[in-house]
Amino acid sequence: MKVSELQVKIQKAITVPDINGPLFANVGDEYKKHFENKDIYFNWLTASIKVWKPKKIVELGAAAGSSTLALYLKKLKDTKLISIDYATEWGFLPAKMKKDKNVTLIMENSLNEEMIKKHKKLLMGIDYLFVDTVHNFDQLTAEIKLYEPFLADTCLVVLDDIMVGDMYEYWKIIDYPKLEIPQYHSSGFGFFIYKKGK
């Protein structure tokens, strides 16, 4: 599938979630307002999960967990969601989500090789990767290098804040089908479709 075709499908699938529902009980008011905007990247994430139907989602960088929640809302029941962040407690997430056997929250630095080795079985077969950690070229380069061995043959890789610092230098050298969609985040947003062996 071409990235432009995928984006059309995702765009059509975007909806505004019920921010007054139980899953949003712990979300701060400011972030609830963000979710009310159809063209915010949180809602794009949710729609992309609905369209792509991944079996294993990995999120690098979570903060309070607003993007983690967005990734969770439309995932298939048996889809694994692994969120990795070294300085968060995912305070926005409801207890139901934290207790979900298919959700794993790892409080570690995404570049910690011992952590990656420890969880290598869990990480194997990533077919959806969302990266939103430290916003610089070296960090992103290191993360892609470390997690690439765990990617499935085809993986949707989503990058936030690609216009921050020197992040765009990485975006420019991506040699996979890619699409920049800045309308979802003023600091830059885009995705590419990774193909193993390309």
Q: Are strands 126-131 and 151-160 parallel, antiparallel or unpaired?
A: parallel
What is the DSSP code (8-state) at residue 21? S
CATH code of residue 148: 3.40.50.150
- For 164-191, the pLDDT digits (tens) are 999 999 999 999 999 999 999 999 999 9
Q: Residue 98 belongs to what domain range?
A: 3-195
Instruction: Supply the mean pLDDT for the chain.
Output: 95
Which residues are within 8 A (CB) of 185 and not within 5 positions of it... i.e. 6 or more apart?
40, 41, 160, 161
User: What percent of the chain stands above pLDDT 90?
Assistant: 94
> Which H or E element spans position 92?
none
What predicted TM-score, i.e. pTM, was given to this entire model? 0.97
- 11 close to 186: Cβ distance less than 8 angstroms: no
Residue 87 has pLDDT above 80, yes or no: no
- For 16-67, the pLDDT digits (tens) are 999 999 999 999 999 999 999 999 999 999 999 999 999 999 999 998 899 9
> Which H or E element spans position 192?
strand 189-195
State the total domains in the chain: 1
Match 């936030």 to its residue by tokens.
160
- For 147-168, the pLDDT digits (tens) are 999 999 999 999 999 999 999 9
Confidence (pLDDT) at 197 = 83
Confidence (pLDDT) at 18 = 95
Residue 130 has pLDDT above 90, yes or no: yes
Confidence (pLDDT) at 89 = 81
